[in-house]
């Protein structure tokens, strides 16, 4: 990925995956530090927050998509208009991993760019009945796909901030934050400093 392009001040992340894997839960945990255990069906919802990072104001847009396959046109538009993708599956649902594979194929077809930023997230690590092993997914995602892989739990707030950090690092935020992709994990602020503003009138300064 080239980092000498014009600095982006608006970044759109899209969360995709089967219904019920926790896309909305991960987003709400990140934005509001809250967790709603009851699943509610999402069609499409766009969240927008403004941050100040290294002296640069960045508008972060987070698209929460439907887990239903009844909106193919809407899904294609979401892919076309987004900069980075979080593909979510649940570690207790092998079929949801199959959905992730299909979605990645569709993203690669629509974007026509093998360097499209994609982070595959195995959510619900708090579940006792794990049916998808991390090592198997890690091998496929990082070796075969050359994408990033993380496991997380929206319920336990495990690795949620890390998911967003990885997405933002790959989405070509201001280049001085990411002098090289190999250093991307070192250049982003620590977990405790990376919090959204409590209301829309304030910007969150990340130091």
Domains of the chain: 10-206 (3.40.50.300)
* 89/134 Cα distance (integer angstroms): 12
Report, as an integer, the average pLDDT of 96-105.
96
Phi, psi of 135, deg, nearest 5: -60, -40
pTM for the predicted model, two decimal places: 0.78
Angle at CA of residue 170, ends 130 and 145, nearest 5°: 55
What's the chain's average pLDDT? Answer: 80
Q: What is the pLDDT of residue 113?
A: 85
pLDDT interval class at 53 (50, 70, 90): low
pLDDT interval class at 69 (50, 70, 90): low
Q: Summarize pLDDT for 9-50 with one digit per residue, the tens.
A: 788 999 999 999 999 999 999 998 888 877 777 667 899 988
Higher-pLDDT residue of 36 and 79 is 79
- Burial (Cβ within 10 Å: 0-12, 13-18, ≥19) of residue 151: buried
Report, as an integer, the average pLDDT of 51-57.
75
């Amino acid at each position: 990925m080239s980092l000498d392009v014009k600095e982006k001040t608006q970044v759109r992340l899209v969360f995709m995956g089967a219904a019920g894997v926790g896309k909305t839960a991960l987003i709400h945990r990140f934005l509001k530090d809250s967790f709603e255990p009851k699943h509610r069906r999402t069609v499409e919802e766009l969240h927008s927050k403004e941050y100040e990072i290294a002296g640069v104001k960045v508008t972060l847009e987070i698209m929460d998509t439907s887990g239903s396959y009844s909106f193919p046109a809407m899904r294609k538009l979401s892919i076309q208009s987004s900069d980075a993708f979080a593909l979510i599956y649940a570690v207790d649902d092998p079929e949801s991993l199959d959905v992730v594979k299909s979605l990645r194929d569709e993203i690669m077809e629509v974007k026509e760019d093998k360097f499209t930023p994609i982070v595959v997230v195995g959510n619900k690590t708090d579940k006792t009945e794990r049916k998808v092993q991390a090592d198997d997914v890690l091998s496929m995602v990082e070796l075969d796909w050359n994408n990033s892989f993380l496991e997380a739990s929206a319920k336990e707030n495990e690795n949620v901030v890390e998911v967003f950090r990885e997405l933002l690092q790959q989405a070509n935020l201001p280049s001085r934050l990411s002098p090289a992709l190999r250093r991307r994990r070192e250049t982003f602020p620590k977990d405790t400093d990376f919090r959204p503003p409590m209301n829309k009138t304030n910007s969150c300064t990340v130091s």
